[in-house]
Amino acid sequence: MAQTKRTLSGQMMGHRILIDNCLGDPGISSILARFGYGPEVLKSGSDKLKQLEAAQVAQDAEYGDQIAATEAVEKAWKKAREQYSDALTLARIAFKTDLDAQRALRLTGDRKDSLSGWLEDAKVFYQQLLNNTAWAKALERYDYTTVRLTQEQAGVEEVSRLKSVQEKEKGEAKGATEARDKLLDETNAWFSDLKEVVKVALRTDPQKLERLGLVVLNQPRAKKKKVAAK
């Protein structure tokens, strides 16, 4: 169920106004009791609405966590991508005649656009460099010490870790949204029935209906029949 937050908030506010006034006005609650909506039934509707309100708070929190996780991935990836790009450029110069290094470090060809593809290339690059003393030594000429390579490798691993966190948060946000939507469907159905019953029970008292947040349009007046002239 795709709904804007404003629409959903409006629905819940309307339900809250209706149920609180039904429970809080003895005159209204006594009338509704004759229609099968006694205090216990109304309270069950109020409890159902409270569950929905709590589910909405939980969904908001999970969605916020997902946004924060996504921003963390993008920030870390930007930094690691810049470092890897510089190291890659210099490695291509250092090993332009070394075919083994070119293949092992994946120096040729375009970089993958996806994060998963980029991570694969970057992990192989740093791991192979650090596992080969001669190759790591060759990059020292360009101010790439083993310490620096290790630090940049750690940056790549951090991107990978943050991506896992993002996927976890995405899953939790989806689960919270599905739980919220299920409660929303159930709550809307319950309150839809209540509204129709209230409109029948209080049809002759528009002020009470208005207090409950319900507006019943006036019935169109019947047109007077013209009396044919004799």
- The 3-state secondary structure of 5-49 reads HHHHHHHHHHHHHHHHHHHHCHHHHHHHHCCCCCHHHHHHHHHHH
Q: Is the predicted pLDDT of residue 227 greater than 70, yes or no?
A: no
**Contact status, residue 69 vs residue 113, Cβ threshold 8 Å:** no
Alpha helices (runs of H) in 95-145, residue ranges in sequence order: 99-105, 115-131, 133-139
In this structure, what is the dihedral angle of CA atoms 50, 53, 54, 59, given to the nearest 10 degrees? 160
Write down the pLDDT at residue 215. 74
Q: How far apart are CA 12 and CA 15, in angstroms?
A: 5
In this structure, how many other beta carbons lie within 10 angstroms of the beta carbon of residue 52?
24
Token pair of 5, please? 């937050």
Q: Is the predicted pLDDT of residue 224 greater than 70, yes or no?
A: no
**How does pLDDT run across 59-116, given as a tens digit for each residue?**
999 999 999 999 999 999 999 999 999 999 999 999 999 999 999 999 998 888 899 9
**How does pLDDT run across 121-160, given as a tens digit for each residue?**
999 999 999 999 999 999 999 999 999 999 999 999 999 9
Which residue type occupies 138?
A: A
Write down the pLDDT at residue 1. 45
Total residue count of the chain as it appears in this document: 230
Q: What is the mean pLDDT of residues 200-226?
A: 75
CA 161, chain centre distance (Å): 20
- Positive/negative CA dihedral, 41, 42, 46, 48: positive
Q: Which residue has the higher pLDDT, 222 or 112?
A: 112
**Contact status, residue 134 vs residue 98, Cβ threshold 8 Å:** no
Q: How far apart are CA 179 and CA 171, in angstroms?
A: 12
Q: What is the pTM of this model?
A: 0.78
